[in-house]
Structure 1
Amino acid sequence: MNFFLNSSFNAKNSGIEHAQLKRAKLFEKFGEDYRLVFREWNPLLHFHLNNNGINDKYILNIFDYFQEATNVQKKKIRPKDVNFGVTNLRYEAEKDNNRVIVYSNNQIVARINLFDKDVTNDQIVKSVELFDGFANLYRVDFYDYRGFLSMAQWYTPDNKIATETWYTPEGRPAIEDYFRLNAQGKMEKSGFKTIDKTGTVRTHNNIVGLIKEFLEQINVEFMDQDHPNIYVMDRSDYFEEILENLSSPTYTVLHLHNSHAGDAQEPDTSIMNNNYEYSLTDANRYDAIVSATEKQTKDVKRRFNPDVDMFTIPVGVIKNEDLKGQRIPMKDRKKHSIVVTARVAPEKQINKIIDAMGMAKKEVPDINMDVYGYVDHSNDDIAMKRINASLDEYDLRDAVSLHSYTNDVTGVQRNAQLYALASVMEGFNLALMEAQAQGDVGITFDTNYGPNELIVNNENGYVVDYDDTKSLSDRMVKLFTDDELLQKMSDQAYELSNRFSEDSVWADWKQLINSAKKTWQDKLKTYHFDIKKGLSDMEHTEEV
């Protein structure tokens, strides 16, 4: 089995989650089974993944697994479906708060919170806050969107969480955790336990133990003598320290979705990206490392000299129908338009693209840009502060439109002429790849990794020196004042996108899978399968 490991999946996701979706669809297309594995409890996990075309059978969440809820019959739980065990109930809707207050004989019994309107308008129960006879909150029940009580939080008299219990859809407790006072007098989680259908209880000091129990079980459950269990760590937190210590054989893969170096422009000497520091330090304990670009593969080899196999596999895949789709000429697109589809975050440096536009405005007065993406408000909203400063400096508020996250990425890219990047670092940049597949001409700083490989300089766009905003501006002017050049580079953007066709990327994954198969038999030689024969249909004799 192929396992793709992550933390969670939500309405708004990063490039890692989008890369997982593309890989999942690729594996489905070529008949290779897989599971998307998530470690965080999320009552909307199946909802969001289903909306992105992922069937429940491919979703494997740790909590779902112990709750026996990986694949359940969906139903809708509405406010009046909740049983409170009392009579004379009165329901008062608070539409502004998207909740219903429940009373019995004028005494509050519960607050029923509904799933947000961006999820459903169908009045589906999200959580229920329960109150005792003195109107004290004593429990909050959380419902999975699929229609069952998933988790209950029990409160102390001073209104702090004491215990959390996760249930099967039939109502059997499956997981519990506990909160205790630490040395500073603050409540914190102090342990987990699982209870299986036979009543067997297993205890753990922390979430690491719970994850390890899960991985131990699924690794044996999916064990196959012919096909290795391949674990691809898309997000390696927790998994990185557990996988190497499982009692049964695995083929483990560290996937680098971003620069391994804190300063991507100094890959040989910079401090490591903290997301990969543990994994790269212990890289020789895994079986393979995957990066999305040839340049990063070479840089990792040169700096760390790992003993494990290294593979270059693009994280982006362009569907065959998109490669064969209708090409939109530059003259039929919004004139002198730039598009960016990315998080509005400090490391994306969208303000520098605006600076380049400001410099180009003298030569191209109608230059314009649309930015689509949710805003990262970290560091005192520094990203937006820089953007606003650039907009004011160059008087571009009428030329630059900031939009929220869009699900119609293809549509906005097909209407634009240029796709611009000024990132500090990247791991690949799916948005740029997708824009090129729609014929957008790319312009970027010489940024590691991805942009300076996706854009072939002077063919499908321009790569300028890192942080050279003036040169970025010059390329905008050059393209927007030469229609023939703009169209020529757009044609090349379409052509060079064949590098990321389904067949091409699948061939790269097949190399990794075949390599894993070659080592699998040697791994199995040191492993003894559990005894299964002779343990059932035994005769019972009475003791004398």
Structure 2
Amino acid sequence: MNFFISENIFSFNSGTEHAQIKRTKLFNAFNDAAKYVTRNYNRLLDRDLKAVGLTPDVVLNMYDFFQGTTDIKRVEQNLRLLKMLPLDTYHIVADGPNQSFLNHNGRRIATITVMPETVGLVNEVIFEDRAGNPTIRENWDWRGFKSSVDTFHPDGSLATQRFLNLKGDVVLEITHMAINGIVQPTMWQLLNYRGHHYRFNSENELLTFFLNEIVKRYQEATLISDRRTLDEAVGKVSGAKQKFAYFHDIHTPDVVQPRLGDPYPVYEIALSQKNQLFDAILVPTDAQRHDIKARYPNLNVKTAPDTFILQSMLTQSQTSVRDRVNHRILFLGRLSPEKNPEAAVQVLAVTRRYVNDATLEFMGYPANTEIVQKLQQLARDLGVESSVIFTPYGNYEAVKEALSRAQVIIETSHGEGFGMNLVEALAFGLPIVSYRINYTTTTHEIVENNRNGYVLPTASANIMAQRVASILNDPSKWASMSTASYQKAKFFSAEKIYNVWQQVFKN
């Protein structure tokens, strides 16, 4: 059994989660059992995993495991049908679509919030004192059962979190106390687990205990830590057949000379401080492997693919330039400073000198609200506001639609571990124009210069705009590069990528 371990599945997932999701699908498609394991408590996990195309049987959450709720089917729980509320005594008064008030003897005693994306399903029941301060909060799982209960300090800060099994018994408790004036979790207690109580100083200590319990159930368990915040917890697990730390991103802030740059501190656990806990470090490209080996010559570092393309995508019909939105440029990825989305707006402004109806579509979740505002302001300053489209971050189907309507995809990031967005673009026959980026375009793995796109030697918005315009203005060049991208996509077929992974595990 393979366990791919991360913090969570989110409503807005980064490339790390997407890579882990795809790897889970890949292994299970070849009947090589794998589970996406999550540490964080997430009452909406059942909803979120379905949004990314995973089924409950291939996802395992630590809190669900201890609560005994891993196999629960969803039953919608309407807030007006809660058995805990005898309506001959209590009265529910609606206050819009998102919440209702619970009244008793003419006084409001609680607020009931509605589960996101539902109508009338219970999310939280927040009991209040006479001053309106929260005293107890009951939290309901997406699947329709009461999952946890919170209590509060007099100042309104969280005091305890108690996690319940289906009988309503407390099986896990987190205590929150003030340290240097900041209230934070200080103790995790696992209650009556197999007849014993256990105490932990951190959530990661609990994670190690949880993973040890999982490994005991399988004679040959392979663990992959997909988040650096979890490396030590995963590394300390005993009894596993193999343990790996997978680096999805560039390991150093020195994106120009990564071989010479000091690593981010969070990478030091796997690279030096506790590297003996892992059988190997896994990275997406040979280039990153060589750079890490140059600095850490005694470290076992292997190259393992970060993504793949479904066979159904490889066999789909090629689309022509006429099937796309005319002169549409796509920026696909998280909107955050390291991705350098401002350069994409600058590229559009210059491109429109040569292609006056060119448009730019951003698709990716923003790191914060300010970054979207800054991009909008930059577009106004450059006179291209009406030509910049911000498409809400969506599921895989929404991403496919964005890739299907674009004519060119651009990459302006400062540094990347690989470039999943560009691999996905290959399957849709998109020409790629990219800055030379470690480790995305420093090799020919994704983009072959002058064949399926352009790799620019310098990060120049003017030069990128000229390359983009040359593709948009020349249908024959677009067709040639599009065909080359379709052909390049075959190098990332599911079968090829799975076979590479098997070699990684064998050697």
Establish whether residue 491 from structure 1 lines up as the match of residue 483 from structure 2: yes
Q: Provide the identity percentage.
A: 26
Is the alpha carbon distance of 1:447 and 1:135 closer, same or farther for their aligned partners in structure 2, counting shifts above 3 Å?
closer
In the alignment, structure 2 segments of 5+ residues that lack a partner are none
Report the secondary structure of 2:234's partner residue: helix
Task: Determine if contact 1:114/1:127 at 8 Å carries over to the other structure.
Answer: yes
How do 1:87-486 and structure 2 match up within 5 A?
87-95=88-96, 98-117=98-117, 120-121=118-119, 123-131=120-128, 137-182=134-179, 184-196=180-192, 198-222=194-218, 224=219, 228-237=220-229, 239-281=230-272, 282-308=274-300, 310-377=301-368, 381-382=370-371, 384-385=373-374, 387-407=375-395, 408-452=398-442, 453-486=445-478
Deviation at 1:334? 2.2
Contact 1:341 1:371 in 2 (8 A): yes
Residues in 2 aligned to 1:208 and 1:360: alpha-carbon distance in whole angstroms: 49
- The answer for unaligned runs of 5 or more in structure 1 is 516-544
Q: Name the CA distance, whole Å, in 1 between partners of 2:386 and 2:7.
A: 40
SS in 1 for 2:212: helix
Deviations 1:45-68 (A, max 9, x none): 121112323221221111111111
> Which amino acid letter does the alignment assign opposite residue 473 of structure 2?
T
Deviation of the 1:314 alpha carbon: 2.1
C-alpha distance 161-360 of structure 1, shift in aligned 2 (>3 A): closer
Q: Tell me: CA distance 1:255–1:335, structure 2 relative to 1, closer, same or farther (3 Å).
A: same
Aligned equivalent of 2:58: 58
The 8 Å contact of residues 303 and 504 in structure 2, kept in 1 or not, is answered as no
What aligned pairs does 1:73-84 form with structure 2 within 5 A after superposition? Answer: 73-82=73-82, 83-84=84-85
SS in 1 for 2:353: coil
CA change 1:181–1:267 in 2 (3 A) is closer
Counterpart Cα distance in 2 of 1:468 and 1:256: 28
Distance in 1 (alpha carbons) for counterparts of 2:456 and 2:77: 56
- The range that moved more, 170-179 or 247-256, is 247-256
Q: Is the 8 A contact 1:259 1:273 kept in 2?
A: no
Report the Cα distance in structure 2 between the residues aligned to 1:137 and 1:261, rounded to whole angstroms.
Answer: 44
1:86/1:104 contact within 8 Å kept: no
- SS, match of residue 196 in structure 1: strand
Which TM-score applies when normalising by structure 2? 0.93
| Separation of aligned partners in 2, 1:358 and 1:244 | 49
Which 10-residue stretch deviates more, 259-268 or 244-253?
244-253
Task: Return the alpha-carbon distance in structure 2 between the equivalents of residues 403 and 214 of structure 1.
Answer: 39
**Distance 1:135-1:339 versus aligned 2 partners, 3 A rule:** closer
- The AA in structure 1 aligned to 2:153 is T
Q: Is the 8 A contact 2:245 2:281 kept in 1?
A: yes
The Cα shift of 1:24 comes to 1.3
CA offsets 1:321-373 (integer angstroms, 9 cap, x no match): 11010110123322222111222222222221222232232222222221112
Give, in whole Å, the separation in 2 of the partners of 1:150 and 1:306.
47
Instruction: Please identify, of 430-439 and 399-408, the stretch whose mean Cα deviation from structure 2 is larger.
Output: 399-408
Corresponding letter in the other structure for 1:202: Y
Q: Rate the CA distance shift 1:23–1:415 in 2: closer, same or farther, 3 A.
A: same
Contact map agreement 2:362 2:390 (CA 8 A) in 1: yes
Q: Distance in 2 between matches of 1:396 and 1:185?
A: 48
8 Å Cα contact 1:345-1:383 kept in structure 2? no
Q: Is the counterpart of residue 72 in structure 1 residue 72 in structure 2?
A: yes
- The 5-angstrom pairing of residues 495-534 of structure 1 reads 495-515=487-507
RMSD across aligned positions (CA): 2.0
Matched, 1:9 2:23: no
Displacement of 1:30 in angstroms is 0.2
**Structure of greater Rg:** 1
Distance 2:420 2:146 in 1: 37
